[in-house]
Amino acid sequence: MFCKCSSSPRLCLGSAMATSDVKLLGAWASPYVMRPRIALNIKSVSYEFLEETVGSKSQLLLQSNPVHKKMPVLIHAGKPICESLIIMQYIDEVWTNGPSILPSDPYDRAIARFWAAYIDDKWFPSVSGITRAQGEEAKAVATAVAIEQVSAGLVVLEEAFEKCSKGKGYFGGEQIGYVDIVLGSFLGWTRMTEKMNGVKLIDEAKTPGLVGWAERFCANNAVKEVMPETEKLEEIAKMIQAKFRAPPPK
């Protein structure tokens, strides 16, 4: 069971640490944008959140990330840093006074990066496949296959949680770390997918460790102000579905 966290696309400011010109380009609903927001909150870094409109790209975004033309982009002292995983690593290396996001041990750090890649490249595409399935018959088959893949992946992540957490509350141990942010950024979309399709993906019977982890993650002060509401994500998901179902332009 997930907590009912709220989100706001307004300006976000940390409190404890003075910074020089930190801006973040992105949309409130993007799980990838959520990652650097959580990382900055963990480090107590004040920043200006420059909201991008879903479905369009600002000139600043295109100038700041001319290669991929995607968000998020962190602009620190006038210099852009792109890609959510790279941004999180940058934040961890620059603001060293706050809690560490990546493990200090090289092996543990490599393992954290491995699971982050697994989540992004293997697990979450299956979650997206549930939402994007089209046509009644095709949707039923595709949804069933995707749900099976998502569930199998969660069992794998349950085992990873047990090993990485070493009996503590997070993948990172006693506090939120790199893998927590990567997987946790998808909790809002996972919750929305469950609601729209009448399924239970993170299940107490199969993945009790992840159920408890999800509750702790959502309730954390660095997370709860930026976690999107399920209802708002549902509106965006319906827009995406309508876009995929629309006939191609002639």
pLDDT, tens only, 186-242 = 999 999 999 988 889 999 999 999 999 999 999 999 999 999 999 999 998 888 777
**Which helix (H) or strand (E) is 132 found in, with range?**
helix 124-132
Higher pLDDT among residues 194 and 129, named by residue: 194
Per-position DSSP letters for 157-223, written without gaps between them = HHHHHHHHHTTSSBTTBSS--HHHHHHHTTHHHHHHHHHHHT--SS-TTT-HHHHHHHHHHHHSTTT
Per-position DSSP letters for 20-70, written without gaps between them = SSEEEEE-TT-HHHHHHHHHHHHTTB--EEEEPPTT---HHHHHH-TTT--
Q: Encoding tokens for residue 110? A: 């490599």
Say yes or no to pLDDT of 125 above 50: yes
Cα–Cα distance measured from residue 196 to residue 36, given in angstroms and rounded to the nearest whole number: 27
What mean pLDDT do residues 175-181 have?
Answer: 98
Per residue in 64-110, pLDDT tens? 999 999 999 999 999 999 999 999 999 999 999 999 999 999 999 99
Q: How far is CA 146 from the centre of its chain?
A: 19
Q: For the chain, give the mean pLDDT.
A: 88
Higher pLDDT among residues 196 and 159, named by residue: 159
- Greatest alpha-carbon pair distance for the chain in Å reads 58
CATH number of 22-94: 3.40.30.10
Per residue in 210-226, pLDDT tens? 999 999 999 999 999 99
Cα–Cα distance measured from residue 220 to residue 122, given in angstroms and rounded to the nearest whole number: 26
pLDDT of 154: 97
DSSP helix/strand/coil, 234:
helix
- Give residue limits of the domains in the chain: 22-94, 106-242
Cα–Cα distance measured from residue 132 to residue 225, given in angstroms and rounded to the nearest whole number: 28
- Which pTM was predicted? 0.87
**Topology agreement, domain 22-94 and domain 106-242:** no
Fold of the domain spanning 106-242: Glutathione S-transferase Yfyf (Class Pi); Chain A, domain 2 (1.20.1050)
pLDDT of 240: 72
- Judge contact between 189 and 127, C-beta under 8 A: yes
Higher pLDDT among residues 248 and 182, named by residue: 182
Q: Encoding tokens for residue 78? A: 């006038």
pLDDT of 167: 96
Say yes or no to pLDDT of 133 above 80: no
DSSP helix/strand/coil, 7:
strand
Closest by CA to 210, choosing from 154, 164, 168, is: 154
pLDDT of 237: 83
